[in-house]
């Protein structure tokens, strides 16, 4: 059973204002909640599960000593943001300083490359980029203060658990690049062909889905790059997450997986 007050409290967390007030966020779905339980069970404040879920995962929940509320499918729908919720919903605490192994370490852009997301507004794009970063072993990425919220339900969902392993920093671009002298790449329309460049570790700036990189940040870019399109191309631009993945793949190919001669 779930009380009316609990329903109200959980539903409030679908809005950023109340997430920030309570320092709580929502994670939904069997796969994501399984990863949380396995990797960082202390994040979970409350777990709401259906009978089907607990029949399949009772050993996992018991082993990690997770307290849970058994609710019906209809009750789960009342607190979920999904049309067809998948068995479980967790109310989780915001990340603490110790939730990432390298949280106290300063990112070294001369040894690794990373991304700066400039005003990325689509939570699905952010979640997909976090998932992509985890795939390529990037442990930390940077976002402008006006980019979408890491704790947005859709961001958490799209990241498919990668939010547990990739640290997100919200800061101005000038704050990031003031720390050292390294290349600042920027994904722009008229940049140099990325496949014809000898890439180095540094920071890669990805712009807003509609407007690209903000004017005040364009002046901070030292290496403008672009993904070349076919000569008969009729598409104006690439999705932000898609462009990030293509660029990341080329950086990874050159810097992490050099061709053996």
Report if residue 186 sits inside a domain.
yes
Within 10 A of 98 (CB to CB), how many other CB atoms are there? 9
- DSSP label at 255? H
Report if residue 127 sits inside a domain.
yes
Q: Are residues 189 and 141 part of one domain?
A: yes
Give the chain's domain count. Answer: 2
Nearest to 166 by CA among 114, 242, 208: 114
pLDDT at 101: 45
Report if residue 260 sits inside a domain.
no
Distance CA 168, CA 226 (A): 25
- CA angle, 214 as apex, 228 and 174 as ends, to 5°? 110
Distance CA 12, CA 203 (A): 36
pLDDT digits (tens, 9 = 90+) for 183-224: 999 999 899 999 999 999 999 999 998 889 999 999 999 999
pLDDT digits (tens, 9 = 90+) for 104-145: 347 888 889 999 999 999 999 999 999 999 999 999 999 999
pLDDT digits (tens, 9 = 90+) for 67-78: 899 999 999 999
Within 10 A of 10 (CB to CB), how many other CB atoms are there? 19
Report if residue 221 sits inside a domain.
yes
Report if residue 89 sits inside a domain.
yes
By residue range, what is the domain housing residue 246? 114-255
Which pTM was predicted? Answer: 0.90
Identify which has the larger pLDDT, 116 or 258: 116
CATH label of the domain that carries residue 215 = 3.40.1280.10
Q: Are residues 63 and 188 part of one domain?
A: no
DSSP-based three-state secondary structure for 181:
coil
């Amino acid at each position: 059973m779930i009380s009316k007050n609990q329903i109200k409290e959980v539903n409030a967390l679908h809005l950023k204002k109340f997430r920030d007030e309570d320092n709580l966020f929502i994670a939904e779905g069997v796969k994501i909640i399984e990863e949380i339980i396995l990797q960082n069970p202390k994040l979970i404040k409350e777990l709401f599960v259906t009978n089907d879920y607990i029949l399949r995962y009772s050993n996992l929940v018991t082993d990690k000593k997770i307290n849970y509320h058994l609710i019906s499918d209809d009750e789960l729908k009342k607190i979920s943001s999904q049309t067809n919720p998948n068995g479980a919903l967790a109310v989780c605490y915001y990340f603490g300083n110790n939730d990432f192994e390298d949280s106290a370490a300063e990112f070294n852009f001369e040894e690794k490359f990373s991304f700066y997301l400039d005003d990325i507004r689509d939570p699905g794009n952010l979640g997909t980029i976090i998932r992509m970063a985890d795939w390529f072993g990037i442990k930390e990425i940077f976002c402008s203060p006006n980019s979408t919220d890491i704790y947005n339900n859709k961001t958490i969902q799209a990241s498919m658990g990668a939010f547990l392993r990739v640290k997100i920093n919200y800061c101005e671009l000038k704050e990031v690049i003031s720390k050292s002298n390294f290349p600042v790449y920027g994904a722009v329309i008229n940049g140099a062909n990325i496949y014809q460049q000898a890439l180095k570790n540094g920071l890669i700036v990805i712009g807003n889905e509609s407007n690209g990189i903000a004017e005040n940040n364009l002046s901070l870019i030292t290496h403008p790059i672009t993904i070349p399109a076919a000569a008969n191309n009729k598409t104006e631009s690439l999705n932000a997450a898609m462009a990030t993945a293509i660029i990341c793949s080329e950086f990874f190919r050159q810097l992490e997986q050099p061709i053996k001669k």
